[in-house]
Chain A
Amino acid sequence: MSETTLTKQKTRRGFGFYLRIYKKILVQDLKSKMSYRADFVISTFGMIMTNLSGFVTFLILFKNFPSINGWDYYHMLFLYGFSLVALTPVQCFFDNNWNLRFQVQSGDFIKYCFRPINVFFYFMSEVFDVKGLGQFAFGIGTLVYAWIHIGIPVTPLVIAKLVLFLLTASLFMIAIMNAAAATCFWIVGSGYVMVIMFRFKDFAKYPSNIFHGVFRILFTFVIPIAFVAYYPSLAILETDNIPVLTWCAPAIGVLFFYLSYKFWMLGVSRYDFTGS
């Protein structure tokens, strides 16, 4: 009997239920963050500094070189802005991945396993990273600036495409970071895996047709940074001969996200309690 009620309960817990919970946890998190206001200001400033330095890098590069692989200044800026916006969800909603290894090691992680809601959801909902919004604003600004200079027409269809492909692109980085964080269930002190992946993301802002051979395959299908900006943005930048991979990107993105989620949950299922 209990089993049937359980499954019934589970089916009733739809999207609305989780949204309500998320809001509650989010408010708690923001409240605790408000007590460190200086930290918030400095972190946001730091975030904008990193984006600004990326921008300055571009300026210096294009002072010396007119184009990179047929991509001129404004197209590159478009790609940069696109990548910044696409990286916002992973920064804002999935930032708790960085704490996973500490929680797993100290044994605090067990508290997530005792709640009657999805472990992955509960863990991620605990932290909302506000400073990601600074990056979002910077990204949108860059994107609009490049957009105007390239002269892409603004139609409802193009906007819809932009939103769809931005969401698609964001799935890939989320998947990469989920998988990288989940390695800590198997390897003690695996923080370096996340650090490495986070460094690779710096190359998302370049057109990935500059890579050749094995590395092109590696960075398209294994560590999919080519999908963080390059392929999705072609849907807007190109008018004809859009590569097949661009059209497949949404499906591949969902697949990658699903796989990373499964991998993460597999880690949870073999998580041993520390006993304390």
Chain B
Amino acid sequence: MNLRRHIALTRAGIMESLQYRLGTAVTLFANLIYLVLVYFLWRAIYDSAGTDVVNGMTFTDTMIYLILATALFNFLEMFVVWDMSRSIQSGKIILDLLKPMKFRSYTFWSYSGSHVVLFTLTFIPTFIVVMIVTHGAIPMGINLLYFVVATVLALIVNFSMEMIVATICLYTESTWGINIVKETIVLLLSGASIPLAFFPETFRKIVGFLPFRAVYDIPLTILLEKNGSDTLEGLLPMFGLQLAWCIILTVTGVLFWNHSVRKITVNGG
């Protein structure tokens, strides 16, 4: 198998993202400040509420959920859309298309390196800090393993969505617009800005079937052992939803891409 090729791309990605050390350090620091802002906001919200538990979420639950959602966001954030539009403009995309590898898997594996770096540098430290500060509010056990599986599935769902949006950009020449629409919808409906537990009942039911939930809400719910995810009956539907969307989005994305790639017009190159 051509596993060696994939690993080579991962290694190149790791080296590339370690090049920008100052940027990574500043971003890490800024994230900490951002989390302090989130803390103050929700502290004020819960203080004004008068009760400790709102919709089954305590202040600590909400904080852990939102902090880890931010950490996941930083780790899952991809710039496929931007990179694609830039390489179309410069003509570089032709070279990528000529590579002896499917464009889709080439893109996926080139990003895998930065995912590895960001997971180690942002998610794990955040996780450890949260664990220490909350004195073990995160259950430690088999759920960690499930969480890793769910995160990998989330990564694939996220990548598939990115690829579909990037393909749309081949037609519209509006990178900023398409990207902001995608980002807004994903952040709101995935529970990254407000936990899904706070959503009104019907709204939450609808959102429960959409793919966005598979990116942030499901991994975090599994990690925190909420909504019965500590039992097999609770766990299976979540993995099922993730897996179903993985397949649907991947197939859609591949078909859409194969159809559109013939339409690319590149100046010069």
Contact = CB atoms under 8 A, between A and B. Distances in A.
B181 A42 contact: yes
Give the interface SS of chain B, mostly helix, strand, loop or mixed. helix
Given A199-B30, A219-B37, 12 more contacts: A39-B177, A42-B172, A42-B181, A43-B177, A46-B177, A46-B181, A49-B184, A60-B199, A64-B54, A65-B48, A187-B22, A210-B40
B180 interface: yes
B43 A210 contact: yes
Nearest to B182: A46
B3 interface: no
A61 B42 CA distance: 10
A42 B44 contact: no
Given A39-B172, A46-B177, A210-B41, A196 B27 contact: yes
B200 interface: yes
B67 to A, nearest CB: 15
Contact of B176 (A46, A67, A199): A46
Interface stretch (B95-103, B118-126, B137-145, B187-195): B187-195
Contact of B41 (A39, A64, A203): A203
Chain A contact surface mostly = helix
Contacts of A206: 41
Interface residues of B, number: 38
B164 to A, nearest CB: 16
12 contacts: A39-B172, A39-B173, A42-B181, A47-B180, A57-B194, A65-B49, A66-B48, A131-B177, A187-B22, A192-B30, A193-B26, A196-B26
B248 interface: no
Interface residues of A, number: 41
A98 to B, nearest CB: 10
B198 A63 contact: yes
Contacts of A61: 45, 194, 198
Interface string A200-237: 10010010001110010011000000000000000000
B181 A212 contact: no
Contacts of B30: 192, 196, 199
B47 interface: yes
Interface in A38-63: 38-39, 42-47, 49-50, 53, 56-57, 60-61, 63
Contacts of A196: 26-27, 30, 34
A255 interface: no
B178 A42 contact: yes
